[in-house]
Amino acid sequence: MRAVAVNLAGMVESPAIGPTPYRVGVDGHPYVPVGDGGIVLGVGLGDLVSAALGDHVSPGATVGHPDQPARHGLTAYACVGNPVVVRSGASAGATGRVFGKRGEDGRLLVWLPDEALERLRPGDGVAVRAYGQGASLPGLPAGVEVLNLDPWLAPALGITVGPNGVEVGVRAVVPSRLAGNGIGRPAQQWDVDLAFPAGDPVLAALRLGDLLAVADLDVRHNMGFRRGHVTVGLVVHGDSPMPGHGPGLVPLLCGPAALLRPVADQAGHEGLTTATLSEAPASAAPGRAG
């Protein structure tokens, strides 16, 4: 069956804080969350997840929708690699790409060139050409699922489909017990936060845009523990002081360990880069009827 593309609308978000500015970190210390949504400058794909002093920091802009069901729809259908066009404001006409999504109410993480990001303002409208849910990769073996991924991006992420399964380079393979916020939630609409303990060597090496594998995690029908299943995803936001929170993983591939084989390279791994997104080919318009 052919997958379907949908043009959707979204709005650049403003970060939201409740009546108290404080959140509480794992050791009981209050802090003011900086960089948790909205338009974030000075952070890029390839940065260490622990580099920016903030909470759930991701590069670029977060995009939502004022109507909650439409917001869930936008989050569910948009996929990593989808084209984005700014439709209003001083950056109207600028183009970027979806590189992630986040859960709860749902929001997209959108990369835009720096000059467009500088002129962007919360409330600006964007159009997203959502394509990927329901799509597959050529030759993908039965049992391995792909989700949240615009298929054009698969080769650039080093996803190799062969007769005996899928191989993909990752920064590391981590155990599912790190999975915090996001577990038990639908992977098409949430990222899963990985609560790395302080001083973890993988945390020290992890970068925004990295591919990372989680052992014993099944994300096909909600995210949960299943022995022998592997999930590979993209690291889309930085660390968090909150317990049960941490760098966020958007699942892209899930399957039994025999068919989905992550190859870890903790020192040399390169994941999704700004160059890959900025040099993306103009849409080949997959997902059209005709």
Partner 1 sequence: MKVESNADRLVTQLLAGEVWPATADRHAYRVDADGTPFVLPGMGGVTLAGHLGEPATGWASDHLEPGLSVRHPDPAANYALQYLSCVGNEVTLVSGASAGGRGTVIGQHAFVLVDAADHVLEGATVGDRVTVRAYGQGLALREHPSVRVKNLDPAVLAAMPGGTRPDGRLEVHVAVDVPADAAGAGGGMASEFANTDLMGAYAGLDDTLSLGLESLRIGDLVVMRDTDHSWGRGYRPGWVTIGTISTGQCALFGHGPGPTTLLSGPAEAFHVVTNADANLSAYVAESRRTRTEVAA
If one asks whether residue 181 binds partner 1 (CB under 8 A), the answer comes out as yes
If one asks whether residue 197 binds partner 1 (CB under 8 A), the answer comes out as yes
Q: Which is nearer to partner 1, 87 or 220 (CB)?
A: 220
Q: Report, in Å, the least distance between residue 127 CB and partner 1.
A: 28
* Residue for token pair 């600006």: 124
Stretch that binds partner 1, among 1-9, 149-157, 215-223, 273-281 (CB under 8 A): 215-223
Question: How many chain residues are in contact with partner 1, going by CB under 8 A?
Answer: 35
Q: Report, in Å, the least distance between residue 96 CB and partner 1.
A: 29
Q: Which is nearer to partner 1, 96 or 241 (CB)?
A: 241
Among 193, 210, 236, 271, binds partner 1 (CB under 8 A): 193
If one asks whether residue 161 binds partner 1 (CB under 8 A), the answer comes out as no
Angle at 244 between CA 238 and CA 248, to 5 degrees: 30
Radius of gyration of the chain (CA): 18
If one asks whether residue 105 binds partner 1 (CB under 8 A), the answer comes out as no
Which ranges of the chain would DSSP assign to H, the alpha helix? 68-77, 114-119, 201-205, 274-278
Residues 153/276, Cβ–Cβ less than 8 Å: yes
Rounded to whole angstroms, the Cα distance separating 12 from 120 reads: 8
If one asks whether residue 260 binds partner 1 (CB under 8 A), the answer comes out as no
If one asks whether residue 255 binds partner 1 (CB under 8 A), the answer comes out as no
Tokens of 117: 């990001």
If one asks whether residue 25 binds partner 1 (CB under 8 A), the answer comes out as yes
Specify which residues 215 forms β-bridges with.
175, 230
If one asks whether residue 147 binds partner 1 (CB under 8 A), the answer comes out as no
If one asks whether residue 224 binds partner 1 (CB under 8 A), the answer comes out as yes
Looking at residue 19, the DSSP 8-state letter turns out to be: S
Question: Which own/partner contact pairs does 283-289 have at CB distance under 8 Å and 24+ positions apart?
Answer: 283/83, 283/129, 284/152, 285/5, 286/3, 286/5, 286/131, 286/135, 286/151, 286/152, 287/2, 287/3, 287/4, 287/5, 287/6, 287/131, 287/135, 288/5
Tokens of 91: 């950056």
If one asks whether residue 134 binds partner 1 (CB under 8 A), the answer comes out as no
Q: Report, in Å, the least distance between residue 192 CB and partner 1.
A: 9
Stretch that binds partner 1, among 10-18, 155-163, 212-220, 269-277 (CB under 8 A): 212-220
Among 71, 101, 102, 229, binds partner 1 (CB under 8 A): 229
What is the binding site for partner 1 (CB under 8 A)?
24-28, 175-185, 193, 195, 197, 216, 218, 220-229, 242-245
